[in-house]
């Protein structure tokens, strides 16, 4: 049996960036002195590490820390930190007694107990006990976490253009990618700037403003507790894919469409689109969107498709044939029962995307390299805001 954790011990040298729930560290990791196979960190000390402060406390310079270095050793992008498992000589104090029996990351050494928004000890239990309806709340579903700021930017742009108050947006974070919400600097910044009213972590994801067991209870909490005007559902940072039709974590986007429709919401399927991805299966509309919405989603959804003006359609990174290709590909989703909605994408929307308070990035590409990725997400937010006004 192969080991699932690559363990190292090191000493904290200094602090890096910090945001709510996270502290970056520089950790000195001595070269290996034994014969463990597969070692790749011998020449990489010091290393960049991340501590989830709500879990392990805040390590100080000079503290000895135990690290999980597996993702770092394999050069993974989103997860490419050494992760602090414990500060053995400076354990954090026990949390004071508190209600809550939802266990996240359960049966792992780092399982975390939280208070579920709808459990009996919650102040919201009575409200949610028999809750069963979203009252036509617009719910934008996206495959990738990177779509979140673009969706919200599109919704805010639509509201400003119509002279309406900015929408109260709730983010329901599923557990297909990162489990700790604290890992996402995007969420932290959008919360700080008032672009997100709340983050709700569901399934095994944890650390949101509210915790929920399922996507269904997360959506109900967004409506009844947060009072959201629209909701974005997407996995946390990171996307696991195997290059196969069904082996990708974003398949849950189809299930989220079903959940929103079952509860009486208005599901809006945000397309994953790229004009720059070198992989053929992700050019134009990604096969992930075609599978999740075309095969997994059994309930009909609105599928916003960008209709670019002369400015957007000639942006660097927007191939000449991209618009035609996307509109041809989405006919498969129309055949599956979804409603295709052409949404104008103009220079003002592009400017709104360039004014987002976080760095837009998907698969390492920014707005300048792959604008279609973010425009496609933004028109989903724009359409969702239009639904709210109906």
DSSP 267-322: EEE---EESS-SSGGGSEE-HHHHHIIIII--S--EEEEEEE-TTGGGSTT--TTH
Gap between the terminal Cα atoms of the chain: 57
CB 242 within 8 A of CB 280: no
- Summarize the chain as % helix, strand, coil (round to 5): 30, 25, 45
User: What is the Cα–Cα distance from 287 to 225, expressed in whole angstroms?
Assistant: 35
User: What is the Cα–Cα distance from 73 to 84, expressed in whole angstroms?
Assistant: 15
15-20 long-range contacts (CB < 8 A, ≥24 apart) are: 15/61, 16/48, 19/182, 19/185, 19/188, 19/189, 20/182, 20/188
Percent of the chain with pLDDT over 90: 76
Residue 390: pLDDT band with limits 50, 70, 90: confident
Residue 1: pLDDT band with limits 50, 70, 90: very low
User: What is the Cα–Cα distance from 380 to 155, expressed in whole angstroms?
Assistant: 8
User: What is the Cα–Cα distance from 50 to 26, expressed in whole angstroms?
Assistant: 9
Q: Which two tokens stand for residue 63?
A: 């503290």
User: What is the Cα–Cα distance from 349 to 380, expressed in whole angstroms?
Assistant: 12
User: 130-163, pLDDT tens digit by residue?
Assistant: 999 999 999 999 999 999 999 999 999 999 999 9
Is the pTM higher than 0.75? The answer reads yes
User: 74-127, pLDDT tens digit by residue?
Assistant: 776 666 789 999 999 999 888 888 888 888 888 888 888 899 999 999 999 999
CB 24 within 8 A of CB 50: yes
User: What is the Cα–Cα distance from 241 to 211, expressed in whole angstroms?
Assistant: 26
Task: Please give the pLDDT value at position 2.
Answer: 52
CB 233 within 8 A of CB 189: no
Structural domains in the chain, CATH included, are: 7-86 (2.40.50.220), 127-389 (3.40.50)
* DSSP state at residue 182: G
Q: Which two tokens stand for residue 278?
A: 């070198």
User: What is the Cα–Cα distance from 367 to 25, expressed in whole angstroms?
Assistant: 29
* DSSP state at residue 226: I
């Amino acid at each position: 049996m192969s080991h699932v954790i690559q363990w190292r011990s090191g000493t904290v040298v200094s602090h890096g960036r910090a945001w709510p729930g996270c502290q970056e560290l520089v950790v000195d990791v001595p070269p290996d002195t034994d014969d463990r196979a597969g070692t790749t960190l011998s020449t990489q000390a010091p290393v960049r590490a991340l501590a989830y402060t709500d879990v392990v406390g805040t390590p100080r310079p000079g503290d000895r820390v135990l690290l999980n270095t597996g993702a770092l050793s394999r050069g993974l992008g989103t997860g490419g930190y050494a992760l602090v498992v414990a500060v053995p000589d400076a354990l954090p104090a026990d949390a004071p007694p508190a209600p809550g029996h939802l266990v996240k990351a359960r049966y792992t050494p780092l399982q975390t107990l939280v208070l579920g928004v709808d459990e009996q000890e919650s102040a919201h239990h009575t409200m949610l006990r028999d809750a069963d309806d979203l009252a036509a709340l617009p719910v934008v579903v996206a495959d990738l976490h990177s779509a979140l700021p673009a969706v919200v930017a599109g919704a805010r742009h639509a509201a400003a253009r119509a002279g309406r108050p900015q929408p109260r947006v709730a983010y329901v974070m599923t557990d297909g990618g990162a489990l700790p919400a604290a890992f996402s600097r995007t969420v932290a910044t959008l919360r700080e700037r008032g672009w997100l009213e709340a983050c709700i972590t569901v399934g095994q994801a944890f650390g949101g403003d509210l915790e929920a067991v399922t996507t269904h209870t997360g959506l109900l909490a967004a409506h009844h507790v947060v009072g959201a005007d629209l909701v974005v559902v997407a996995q946390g940072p990171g996307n696991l894919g195997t290059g196969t039709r069904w082996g990708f974590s974003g398949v849950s986007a189809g299930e989220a469409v079903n959940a929103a429709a079952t509860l009486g919401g208005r599901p809006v399927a945000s397309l994953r689109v790229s004009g720059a991805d070198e992989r053929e299966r992700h050019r134009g509309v990604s096969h992930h969107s075609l599978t999740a919405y075309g095969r997994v989603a059994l309930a009909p959804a609105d599928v916003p498709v960008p209709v670019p003006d002369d400015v957007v359609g000639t942006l660097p990174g927007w191939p000449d044939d991209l618009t035609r290709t996307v509109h041809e590909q989405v006919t498969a989703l129309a055949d599956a029962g979804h409603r295709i909605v052409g949404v104008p994408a103009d220079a003002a929307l592009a400017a709104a995307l360039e004014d987002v308070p976080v760095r837009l990035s998907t698969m390492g590409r920014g707005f300048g390299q792959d604008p279609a990725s973010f425009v496609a997400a933004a028109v989903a937010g724009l359409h969702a805001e239009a639904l709210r006004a109906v």
